[in-house]
Amino acid sequence: MSGDHSTADRASTGADIGKSEAAGRWRDWPYVLGLFLASKAFIVFVALVAPLLFGPGNFYKGRATEIGWIAFVARWDANWYIQIAQQGYVFRPDGTGSVSFFPLFPLLLRGLIFCGVNPVVAGLLIANGCFLGALWLFYRLVKEEFGRRELARHATALLAFSPGLAWFSIGYTESLFLLLSIGLVYALRRRRFGIGAMLGVLAGLSRPNAVVLVAPLLLLVGPTIGESWRRSNWRRLCVVGSSAIAPIIGHGLYLGYLQLAFGNWRANHIVELHGWDTKFQLSWLVLSQKIPGVGLHLFDNPEVCREHVAWSWFLLLFVTLFSLIALWEKRAGWWQSVFVLAYFSLYVSILQLNGPVYAVARYAAPIFPFYIAVALFAENRCWAQPAALVACVMWSTITGLMLFAGYHIN
């Protein structure tokens, strides 16, 4: 009988520990949810103020009451995704069409539209729902990676009010890609390779630049791949390897669809070249164009778009170097530095309209190791934590004001 009591006691203790761990995992959910709601209230305020301060913009009159709320919220790429969701892909013989936009976001849109949701509202729901999920997974990743709750809270606050907040709030793919890339890394850190493979494929179906994730992912799973090889565990080797190259698999699935639908697996690359004049070219001329030389006059310069792009590149270069130094100083995992370097190397080699790629600020927004690096730098510097958050809020305000005032800043 005593043995039965002992077994029951152990079972009860195990259940209590499980409940305690579950409660601990959700302990900071109210904090993350509060950050999300505060950031959304902030960006709504910026959106309402922007057209009053800086309209008319280059492409719209700038006032929501004059252009209607749909045009105010669903602009530029958001309209492309809605069009794809409602009408399907288009690829024309002249090399133009909508196939340069990857399919996952339009598929999610189509699902909500089928359920009767307004297309613009559907885009907002997907973007903001993904952003909330990304904040929570990011908090969990940082806390488990470094074991420090306050560090995770500060890094999550930086992401919540990051310079990409405007793009994380409207019908763009940045929130979706952020969620999938964080979830992919989080799954691999917890050795959930099957889940990681699934998320990697979805990431590859969400954005073309997802293939760059393979570099840090291989670094993450490298030890497990080596162990599986030494033990001749071929099944595990295939699963782990697939999780690392899953974004390429997702990309390949889309190319396969293009081959079946249009008879040309390079259709999206052709549209990028002929429709958007975007191509890879690494040269000193391209690099030199990414350094601003005429001063920051974003609202009174007729070349506002190009000047904003130049300053975006200058800031991206600064943040990249700063992040690499901070990650090295704190001896963070190498995968984070490789993550930053891989994306910077990609963007620095892209040429658009004979200049730097215009959307670099938006493309760089989901590079979440940036926010980890800043939080690590500020961790033992009492002045740096509020300074970093203020800098994020100020940068987010500028991008939000320009975007919602109608300036095509990407």
Helix (H) or strand (E) holding 351: strand 350-352
Q: Is the Cβ–Cβ distance between 253 and 246 less than 8 Å?
A: no
The H or E element containing residue 321 is helix 304-329
Residue holding tokens 């979830």?
Answer: 183
pLDDT at 27: 83
Residue closest to 135 by CA, chosen among 39, 239, 217: 39
**Sheet with 350-352, side-by-side order of all strands:** 278-280, 350-352, 355-356
CB atoms within 10 A of CB 230: 8
What is the token pair recorded at 384?
Answer: 């740096």
Distance (Å, rounded) from C-alpha 328 to C-alpha 317?
Answer: 17
Q: Do 200 and 246 meet the contact criterion of CB atoms below 8 Å apart?
A: yes
CB 395 within 8 Å of CB 63: no
Residues in the chain: 410
What is residue 161's predicted lDDT score, i.e. its pLDDT? 96
Q: By the 8 A CB rule, do 51 and 405 touch?
A: yes
Sorted by where each begins, the domain ranges of the chain are 2-404
- Listed in sequence order, the DSSP H helices in 231-303 are 234-262, 267-276, 284-288
CA distance linking residue 361 with residue 166, whole number of Å = 11
CB of 296 closer than 8 Å to CB of 311: yes
Beta bridge partners of 91: 97
* C-beta of residue 210 within 8 angstroms of C-beta of residue 177: yes
Residues 6 or more apart in contact with residue 364 via CB below 8 angstroms = 164, 316, 319, 343, 347, 370
φ and ψ at 280, to 5 degrees? -90, 130
Residue-wise pLDDT for 216-268, tens only, equals 999 999 999 999 899 888 899 999 999 999 999 999 999 999 999 999 999 99
Determine if the pTM surpasses 0.85: yes
Residue ranges, the chain, pLDDT below 50 = 17-18, 57-65, 294-296
Instruction: Give the Å distances, CA to CA, from 248 to 236, 266, 288, 365, 378.
Output: 19, 15, 31, 21, 35
What is residue 65's predicted lDDT score, i.e. its pLDDT?
Answer: 43
| Residue range 46-99, pLDDT digits in tens | 888 877 776 554 444 444 445 566 666 777 788 899 999 999 999 987 878 999
Closest among 363, 362, 389, 379 to 327, alpha carbons compared: 379
The residue type found at 302 is P
Helix (H) or strand (E) holding 356, with range, is strand 355-356
Say how far apart CA 82 and CA 220 lie, in whole Å: 36
- Reported as type and span, the H/E element at residue 339 is helix 334-348
> Which pLDDT score is estimated for 249?
96
Helices (H) and strands (E) in the chain, counts: 19, 3
